[in-house]
Amino acid sequence: MQKFDVIIIGGGIVGCMTARNLSRFDLKVLLIEKETDIGMGASSANSAIIHAGHDPVPGTLKAEMNHLANPMWDQLSKELGIPFKRTGAYIVAIGDEECSCLESLLEQGRENNVLCEIISKDEILKREPLLNKDVSGALFTPTAAMVDPFAACLASIENAIENGVVVLTETEFTGFIIDNQIISGITTSKGDFLCRWVVNAAGAYSDEVMHLAGVHPEFKINTRKGEYYILDKSEMHLENILFPVPTGVSKGILVLGSTHGNVLVGPNSLTEPDRENKSVTAAGLSEIWQGAQKLVPSITPRSIIAVFAGLRSSGNARTLIPGVDYDHDFLIEVSKEVEGLINLAGIESPGLTAAPAIAERVAQFLRESGEELVEKKDWNPIRNPRPRFNHISQEEQKNLIAADPRYGRIVCRCEMITEGEIIAEIHAPLPARTYDAIKRRTWLGTGRCLGSFDMPRVTEIMANELGIPLTEITKKGPGSEFLLRHTKEVEILDEL
């Protein structure tokens, strides 16, 4: 059996950031992910916001981690080469009744050490003319930002790999190897691995992981579904993040821009017992559209190009620490019952924002538990992003094509993604081996045609580069193959 110092279960943003942070130390680290790619859960289906931190209940881990992590993203985005825009956000009040709520939100924001201010109706309409003219004011939080959440996952894990972390996808955790309440390894669908520490960053399944260690039987993840619309960037443009006044169960239905130029609408918040169900519903989509029109009445259905849903992993344990209610808060701890287990569970919003601070907390736990964390002399925090043809100057495009003519062949016409970009992702530090993996990395297939034109060409390129038949190319993994057989292999049925 291979032996590691630390094994991380789960390749979402928390697992990937933790792997990257631990890669700076002289440790052997393994990250396992049960899906065909990293970031296929909540980390690639969310509102893509780095939250300022006004919303979490003061005194909670959510509030603490949000406050610590928000300022980290400027340096992180530069080191990792990920799309990031420090735009600020507006919590918009419609009508006099909602306006009265802004003062309490301001007070809570200040209690969480968040820079915020209330601005007038005239000022918010000057900053965002598309807003409902019945707006009565807004709370402005200037430290909120937009990010590409999957790019943050990918860049973190690529940098971790470049610094020595081992990553295994399609590797499902099945149990612990425990002796006298001390973890010495894990069992997986790809064999057993020895280790001294296990970091449980399994997202929607983090409760099941800890239960297999006999820890926190009272803790249960309750998943909630959030549905979204994506609008055509050529139809509507928005630079701001617009929140409604929040409800008791969510931050409400947003209308916001993105690092890719599209406008995003959503999410709602629906109880979803099936942790794999990311289907959208007619009732849910109707709900978020009505919510969006309340903020931006000019929004039109003709702008819609796609819908999707994501699942949030909310914890419900109330008895972890006497006098502290962890219901709907993060659970971040070194287990007291089993030696060698770190739990990172219930990481719902603002989990994306908080991820780098959570990663640093893991290193702190290891130090406090007696691990000597020696920094590598050759650790490199820089991950150089691969060229994005549509985002560089004409002169840079010319030079790129001269160096590699494949960058001169456009495959996705909506987003102007080239053959060179696709091939680069197939041979990246964490190779893209499905159509959706390439889509998340390059943004191909996300325009008005939704991949209708590029898909045949992309599958052909993948088959050639991976050296496998076209019939083995999948959308998102086994069971999602595009093709069954060649047309000329269709059997002619004997009508007799």
With b meaning 16 or more CB within 10 Å and e meaning fewer, what string describes 313-338? bbbebeebeeeeebebbbbbbbbeeb
User: Residues 51, 54, 216, 328: which is the catalytic one?
Assistant: 51
d(CA 159, CA 380): 8
51 belongs to the catalytic site = yes
Query: CA angle, corner 450, sides to 446 and 453, nearest 5?
Result: 115
Residues annotated catalytic, as ranges: 51
